[in-house]
Amino acid sequence: MKTLRVFGFSLAITVAALAFGYWHGGLTALFLLGVLAVLEISLSFDNAIINAAVLKRMSSFWRTMFLTIGILIAVFGMRLLFPLLIVWVTAGLDPVRAMVLALHPPPNGAMEFPDGSPSYEKLIMAAHPQIAAFGGLFLLMLFLEFVFRDREIKWLKWVEAPFARIGRLGQVPVVVAVVVLVVVGTQLTHSVEERAAVLTAGLVGLVTFLFVDGLSRTFRPADIAGGQPGFVPASGRAGLTLFLYLEVLDASFSFDGVTGAFAITSDPIIIALGLGVVGAVFVRSLTIYLVRQETLDRYVFLEHGAHWAIGALALIMLLSIDPRLEVPEVVTASVGMLVIGAALGWSMLRNRRAARAVPAGEEPTQDSISARSS
């Protein structure tokens, strides 16, 4: 029953979205909705884990805001308005005209109209290098900030321990991210204009992460480590900052899904319904489920696995700047799921070993498991 309460809203929204999709485009639209929803959920599973790690620090008010206002931003902001804004910024086409283009594509799936003007899908694809650079750098910084920070519990110790020692030098994530951006911008672009656009978008992604992460650190209470003695859920400005952090994070995770969706359909209504109404809502329900079940506390390597999956996703996004290196969405989703699955398996094995080490008659606790496994 508890699980049904968590996912009940998502199921109701899914039924409504499928009904509207069928009314909008018949069985074809229904099939596309299912494909896009699976794509979004599989690509965003690591997003749900990271969201849960942040959400458990927030007060009940800001958790509610994440599930209400946050969903509206995810659905209408990132999955409907964002592609229209991309066309506006990159092609100088206002959102209303872009919506008209999207709803009335050229016949026979052509990329241009009979008069030679580009289709909505072609305009979005032309903006892909900037989108990939911005989202890739933001997610890369999220991964680097995690892997270069020393932590009591380590998953891949042979990698994470040396990285943590290097991270003591300070500002290592920024240095690595800038080097990666320079290499990507100079080696994967094919014109001066594209190089400038990619480098600019990447720098904006880097600055956006530093700004949001800096705000999060500034307003975060000293005892907000989560689950520690004296822990106080973030409220007020701290809760608002973490809420904004989650929204920017969700936006970055949605870049690959939004752009990848155009390989399936260019209909913005279907994209918004499949990625947003069905996919994004399910990801949020999954986040709440992880928080309520204290999954990250019981399976301590899950957060590590999610960050390594994010690192792989960031690399794939940056490589996709060159169309010759673009990785199919099914491969992208599979990499993330495999890494997170491995982290879950390692966590379960760790818990079993620690449980066997508990003396007979003693009840194993999470603290005793952590102590025996560290």
Say what the pLDDT of residue 337 is. Answer: 76
Q: If you write DSSP's letter for every residue of 310-356 in order, what string do you get?
A: HHHHHHHHHHTTSGGGPPPHHHHHHHHHHHHHHHHHHHHHHHHHHHH
Average pLDDT of every residue of the chain: 76
pLDDT bin (cut points 50, 70, 90) of residue 91 is low
Q: Pick from 247, 261, 244: which is nearest to 80 by CA?
A: 261
* Count of the separate structural domains present in the chain: 1
Q: What is the mean pLDDT of residues 285-294?
A: 76
pLDDT bin (cut points 50, 70, 90) of residue 252 is low
Q: What is the mean pLDDT of residues 257-267?
A: 61
10 domain residue, yes or no: yes
Q: Pick from 61, 52, 4: which is nearest to 284 by CA?
A: 52
pLDDT bin (cut points 50, 70, 90) of residue 221 is very low
Say what the pLDDT of residue 222 is. Answer: 44
212 domain residue, yes or no: yes
Check whether 320 has a pLDDT greater than 50: yes
Say what the pLDDT of residue 199 is. Answer: 93
141 domain residue, yes or no: yes
The boundaries of the domain holding residue 343 are: 2-107+117-373
Say what the pLDDT of residue 39 is. Answer: 64
State which amino acid sits at residue 273: L
162 domain residue, yes or no: yes
Check whether 182 has a pLDDT greater than 90: yes
112 domain residue, yes or no: no
pLDDT bin (cut points 50, 70, 90) of residue 239 is confident
pLDDT in tens, 116-131: 788 877 887 788 888 8
Share of the chain above pLDDT 90, in %: 6
